[in-house]
Structure 1
Amino acid sequence: MIKKVLLALAAGSIVLSASACNTVRGAGQDLESAANEVDEEI
């Protein structure tokens, strides 16, 4: 159950981050940031 919640939060973060950035470089940084957050939670 906790993994599903974390996955949903990570997916939401990725979607929000991707929609907020305007460049490919910014998208890469946002995805890397979201991945790091997920790694810290797991």
Structure 2
Amino acid sequence: MIQRLLLLLISGAIALTASGCNTVKGVGRDIQSVGQAGSDAIH
């Protein structure tokens, strides 16, 4: 159940990331925020 929720959260974050980043700097920030969201979901 937790793995499914985490996968869903990360998938949604990646979708938002892919649609919202326009520069290399933006991609870095988006990847960092996805990592943080995944970390928060685990803890």
TM-score tier by shorter-chain length is 0.7 to 0.9
**Cα-Cα RMSD:** 1.1
TM-score relative to the length of structure 1 = 0.76
Unaligned runs of 5+ in 1: none
Runs of 4+ in 1 over 6 A off after TM superposition: none
Give the length in aligned residue pairs: 42
TM-score by length of 2: 0.75
More RCO (CA 8 Å, sep 6+): 2
Q: Report what 1:17 is aligned to.
A: 17
